């Protein structure tokens, strides 16, 4: 088997979470190797919303200017009813930025991933493609990853290998949970949506019975991103082959014009079935730790999946930073302490995001009287009421005490939003 690698950390998976971990730990002076299964580093898909709790961290890493130059700073997030097109609620994003000190942005996935990749390269991260990790072992010095070309050891291994993580079964025997919803995406040159009654300044979400539709401009306003999400009748009927394009148009029957006009622009050769997992409260076994979707894949209704992965990376690296600041050298890092500090704070935060995302999605998709009640309640929310998002968009907690502080005034509201 192969020689022991001369790195401090092995990261498995070079998605947004894995690269964020590599960048953050390298900035603390650690040597990091990233093992990625795919032949190249990259991201498929279209737009990504990144909230202030993410842009705050990107700023600390020195990446916010680059991200701002590639993304869009929308003026509002507007929620509308998908059936009649009426406005239900909005967040003023200039005020949101003033409140949290950092912007709410949208960016093309490949641009955020590319920014992290360039930062990783510039910092000297060892980036390796075509390596699929198949197994993990604990060792005297840390942990070992196993792959077709041999075995590699490091003091710690971060598994950022996504929804179908190979590392997660070391900790939990759970399976991905199907929501029976499927997402279609499409990012097109902005001139293709002229005349469709779209807003180029806002993130607009149309919520309706068993469906929703998201729109926003991307790449400095040159592109327009749309996401169409619906509950698949074939999934509900227990069929294997569900979420296929033949279901797309029917799912949006009875929607307002702004929505139906957008449907022809969706990509029909690719779709994303929506899975999450039940929250688990332990992400660490020995010297292997889960990060990002491997630990906490959400339904996307709070737009916090990639954001949580970036927060994970920041929390992990800040706990390393605390030990270095206290005078330890890199070789003397107490990884058990770092991992237990990480494990003490992140699973609880992400549990709340996962369960709230499910409840929020259910509220988006209600029908009949429930839809009318929802609309009344959302219309009654004051535009400057941030009580539903402070716990998400505020500074990321490093300890359970900080997390609890952030959440106390809102505990009632979590219950309320989960039971409406």
Nearer to ligand FAD, 12 or 190 (CB): 12
Give the H or E element holding residue 255. none
Does 14 sit near ligand FAD (CB under 6 A)?
Answer: yes
> Nearest approach, Cβ of 325 to ligand FAD (angstroms)?
28
> Nearest approach, Cβ of 10 to ligand FAD (angstroms)?
10
Does 93 sit near ligand FAD (CB under 6 A)?
Answer: no
Does 79 sit near ligand FAD (CB under 6 A)?
Answer: no
Please select the residue that binds ligand FAD; options are 36, 81, 152, 153, rule is CB under 6 A.
36
Please select the residue that binds ligand FAD; options are 71, 74, 162, 208, rule is CB under 6 A.
162
Which residues ranging from 231 to 260 are in contact with ligand FAD (CB under 6 A)?
none
- Interface region with ligand FAD, contact rule CB under 6 A, candidates 199-207, 234-242, 292-300, 355-363: 292-300
**Do 99 and 386 contact (CB within 8 A), yes or no?**
yes
In whole angstroms, give the CA distance from residue 304 to residue 53. Answer: 9
> Nearest approach, Cβ of 336 to ligand FAD (angstroms)?
23
Nearer to ligand FAD, 256 or 266 (CB): 266
Does 16 sit near ligand FAD (CB under 6 A)?
Answer: yes
- Interface region with ligand FAD, contact rule CB under 6 A, candidates 157-165, 328-336, 370-378, 412-420: 157-165
Does 48 sit near ligand FAD (CB under 6 A)?
Answer: yes
216 is catalytic: yes
What are the distances in angstroms from CA 243 to CA 159, 254, 265, 269?
29, 19, 17, 12
- Interface region with ligand FAD, contact rule CB under 6 A, candidates 88-96, 117-125, 303-311, 341-349: 303-311
Nearer to ligand FAD, 114 or 305 (CB): 305
DSSP state for residue 190 in the 8-state scheme? G
> Nearest approach, Cβ of 354 to ligand FAD (angstroms)?
11
Catalytic residue among 102, 216, 386, 393: 216
Binding stretches for ligand FAD (CB under 6 A): 12-18, 35-38, 48-49, 132-133, 160-163, 166, 183, 227, 272, 292-293, 300, 303-307, 309
């Amino acid at each position: 088997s192969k020689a022991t690698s001369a790195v401090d950390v092995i990261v498995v998976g070079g998605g947004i979470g894995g690269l964020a971990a590599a960048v953050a730990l390298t900035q603390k002076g650690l040597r990091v190797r990233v093992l990625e299964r795919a032949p190249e580093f990259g991201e498929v898909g279209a737009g990504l919303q990144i909230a202030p709790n993410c842009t705050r961290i990107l700023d600390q890493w020195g990446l916010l200017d680059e991200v701002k130059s590639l993304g869009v700073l929308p003026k509002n997030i507007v929620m509308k009813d998908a059936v009649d097109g009426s406005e239900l609620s909005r967040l003023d994003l200039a005020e949101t930025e003033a409140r949290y000190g950092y912007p709410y942005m949208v960016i093309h996935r490949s641009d955020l991933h590319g920014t992290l990749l360039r930062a990783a390269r510039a910092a000297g991260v060892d980036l390796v493609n075509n390596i699929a990790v198949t197994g993990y072992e604990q060792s005297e010095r840390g942990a070992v990853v196993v792959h077709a070309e041999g075995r590699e050891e490091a003091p710690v291994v971060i598994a950022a290998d996504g929804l179908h993580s190979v590392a997660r079964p070391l900790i939990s025997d759970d399976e991905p949970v199907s929501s029976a919803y499927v997402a279609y995406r499409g990012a097109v040159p902005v001139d293709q949506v002229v005349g469709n009654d779209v807003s180029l300044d806002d993130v607009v979400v149309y919520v309706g019975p068993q469906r929703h539709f998201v729109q926003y401009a991307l790449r400095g306003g040159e592109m327009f991103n749309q996401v169409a999400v619906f509950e698949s009748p074939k999934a509900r009927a227990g069929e294997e082959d569900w979420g296929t394009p033949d279901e797309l148009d029917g799912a949006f029957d009875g929607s307002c014009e702004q929505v139906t006009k957008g449907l022809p622009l969706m990509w029909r050769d690719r779709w994303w079935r929506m899975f999450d997992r039940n929250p688990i409260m332990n992400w660490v076994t020995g010297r292997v730790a889960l990060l990002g979707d491997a630990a906490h894949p959400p339904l996307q209704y709070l737009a916090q999946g990639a954001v949580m992965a970036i927060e994970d990376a920041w929390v992990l690296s800040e706990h390393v930073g605390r030990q270095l600041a206290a005078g330890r050298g890199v070789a003397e890092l107490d990884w058990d302490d770092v991992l237990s500090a990480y494990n003490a704070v992140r699973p609880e935060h992400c549990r709340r995001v996962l369960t709230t995302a499910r409840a929020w999605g259910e509220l988006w998709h209600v029908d009949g009287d429930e839809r009318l009640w929802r609309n009344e309640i959302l219309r009654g929310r004051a535009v400057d009421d941030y009580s539903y998002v402070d716990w998400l968009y505020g500074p990321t907690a490093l300890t359970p005490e900080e997390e609890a502080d952030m959440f106390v005034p809102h505990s009632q509201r979590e219950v309320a939003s989960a039971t409406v």
